[in-house]
Amino acid sequence: MSSVDIEAIKNQLGLEINAVNSSQGLEELRIKYLGRKGLISQLTGMIPGLPQEERAAFGQKANALKNKTLSLIEEKQRSLGQVSAVEEFSGLDIGLPAIVQDLGRLHPLTQIIDEICAVFVRLGFSVVEGPEIETEYNNFTGLNIPLEHPSRDAFDTFYLKPSNNTNDQRPTTSDRLLLRSHTSPVQIRAMKSQKPPLAVVVPGRVYRPDAVDASHSFMFHQIEGFMVDKGIRFSDLKGVLEAFAKAVFGEDIKMRFRPHFFPFTEPSAEVDISCIICKGKGCSVCGRKGWLEVLGAGMIHPNVFKHVGYNAREYTGFAFGMGVERIAMLKYGINDIRLFFENDLRFLRQF
């Protein structure tokens, strides 16, 4: 072999590398030329056998061919998109600012629902949900709300089409479906499916055909709570609600129970907390009364127990229901209920 042969190999290499069109082909070519038994190491292996005066020049040419081969293969690799990982990462600038991920957060109503439910869970309640489409029986009849009660009027309840539900052993002939107007129907569902003792909270949406304004919405959220066992007393209700009010509004909050009427509780009460703005002195938020109404409550009416098949002589229980928006508005000083539903990020980002 001579310098002429080196020229020939170089030409051959040029032709062969042009013909390569895959990374596998390129690797085969690399082995053929640069491998341990490749053409170029064959050339350098010949050096010791050459006449002394030719060795240096031959060696230089062989070396030049080796470098040429390396750079041709590298070039080809790049054009095949086979840039090695190391080369690719050499373009990485770790000094560039990161792309910030906006994580988002829970809606303020979801936050307050979670917070309130957690208080009751600590007291031993379990969290249960019910459907927003209810039967007239569960929403009214089972709760001892008589047919002539104004809340059953179509002005106060969204009625849907008649239901095919034949499970309801209702005393009336009407069997309509509706959007539940409160979370109390879940009392009927839970009590029908479980025997006492029972301690349940129910968060969820409710619907009423009210004109929307700063304090009304056709859809809002309630949290219902109830406990049934032998010997449950009104004092148990007071203790549980006081624990709730202190956990949500602070330790110095005071509570007051005013007599009221609900068909499904007897006795019934409306429950106020001392005004969190003026601490009971009287201000514009509490209408100078010093008190803010936060929920309705009472001892579960024996007729409700009758409807779910509980023995009212054996068991007693309490129930309460609160409006979530109202609690959130009082807690955070929000003066318009519509803010919760408008998806204005300037409002939502504050929570």
Residues forming contacts to ligand PHE in the complex (CB under 6 A) are: 182, 184, 224, 262, 265, 296-298, 319-321
Phi, psi dihedral angles at 159 (to 5 degrees): -95, 145
State which residue, 69 or 265, has the beta carbon closest to ligand PHE: 265
Residue 10 CA to residue 251 CA, distance in Å, equals 90
| Furthest CA-CA distance within the chain | 123
54 vs 153 by CB, closer to ligand PHE: 153
Nearest to 141 by CA among 187, 95, 107, 99: 187
Q: How far is the CB of 343 from ligand PHE (least distance, A)?
A: 26
Task: Give 89's Cβ-side CA count (13 Å radius).
Answer: 4
Closer residue to ligand PHE in complex, CB, 6/199 = 199
Least CB distance to ligand PHE at residue 265 (A): 5
Q: Measured from the CB atom, is 315 or 320 closer to ligand PHE?
A: 320
Of all residues in the shown chain, the one whose CB is closest to ligand PHE is 321
Residue 4 belongs to what H/E stretch? Answer: helix 3-19
The residue to which tokens 């127990």 are assigned: 305
Determine contact, residues 121/127, Cβ cutoff 8 Å.
yes
Q: How far apart are CA 255 and CA 272, in angstroms?
A: 6
Q: Between residues 177 and 241, which has the closer beta carbon with respect to ligand PHE? A: 241
- Minimum distance of ligand PHE from residue 275's CB (angstroms): 21
For the bound state, the minimum distance from the C-beta of residue 320 to ligand PHE, rounded and expressed in Å, comes to 5
Q: How many other CB atoms sit within 10 Å of the CB of residue 95?
A: 5
**Nearest approach, Cβ of residue 225 and ligand PHE (Å):** 8
Which residue lies nearer to ligand PHE by CB, 65 or 178? 178
Query: Minimum distance from CB of 278 to ligand PHE (Å)?
Result: 26
| Sheet of 126-127, strand order | 126-127, 198-207, 219-229, 316-323, 291-300, 265-274, 255-262
